[in-house]
Structure 1
Amino acid sequence: MTQVLTSLVAVIGTLLGATLGYIFQRLNAARSDRQQAALAFSNAITDVIRSQQEWYHRKDEEREGAEHRAARFEGHRLRGVARQAMNGLTFHLPDPELLQQADGLLRMASDIHEATDTQDLATRTEAARQALSFFIQASAAKTR
């Protein structure tokens, strides 16, 4: 009887340990996916900001020149990349408040090239960077 009880306790302990290990592994993987989605979006927005500045400067130099067209195409391409990153964010971190913040950030970063002068460009760029910083802080708090 003692041997059966010992074996039963060992089996139950093994099953409990395996189950808890699986649960903790899943929780850790989900947290990692949320963090990766937020990081991918943040990186994409950083690229959008840079490309929008480039687009503004090339437009200022030669309105319809080859460099301006290339910068415009790159700006559109990177906005698409940021939109894809936002889709990942929506899938892994479906928090309405955070998604609304991310959408506003994407719109803000995408409009940088519409600056009227260099001061407006600097103001728009700083506002987008500040909004990105707030997004990073908010997403970090929600991905822990």
Structure 2
Amino acid sequence: MICLLQRVTQGKVEVKQNTIGQISTGLVVLCGFQPQDDRQSLSKMAHKLLHYRLFADAQGKMNLNVQQVNGGLLLVPQFTLAADTKSGLRPSFSSCAPPETAQALFNQFVDEIAQAYQTPQTGEFGADMQVSLTNDGPVTFWLEV
């Protein structure tokens, strides 16, 4: 599983000009799934995501996690994160989980986060989404499990 985390002051997802997910301060997380992902990898990523320290403490150091700042979470399924881009000038999607599997994994991941912290806002699997955000910092991290 791959997650691209962006610390934001705001983020939203629109589908057909309708806002379907929106947060203020928190994390916009693009989620990509690979064929070998399973319940264990989802749990590991959920723990890592919720405990990753990328918010500033009183001294300005990145010592606080999203839970400690009561931040929002906007999870967006994005299969292109798992694409193979090592060769050529066109990505290969053979390294991505099949759509049915990826959708089930995304739904399970949303449930993992909801059980551990709060129900996240989400994008819509398979939809043509417009994602907008204001990256705070900018702070962006690539996580893999």
Determine if the TM-score, normalized by the shorter chain, exceeds 0.5. Answer: no
Q: Whose helix fraction is larger, Structure 1's or Structure 2's?
A: 1
Between Structure 1 and Structure 2, which shows a larger proportion of strand residues? 2
Greater C-alpha Rg: 1
Q: Give the structure-1-normalised TM-score.
A: 0.27
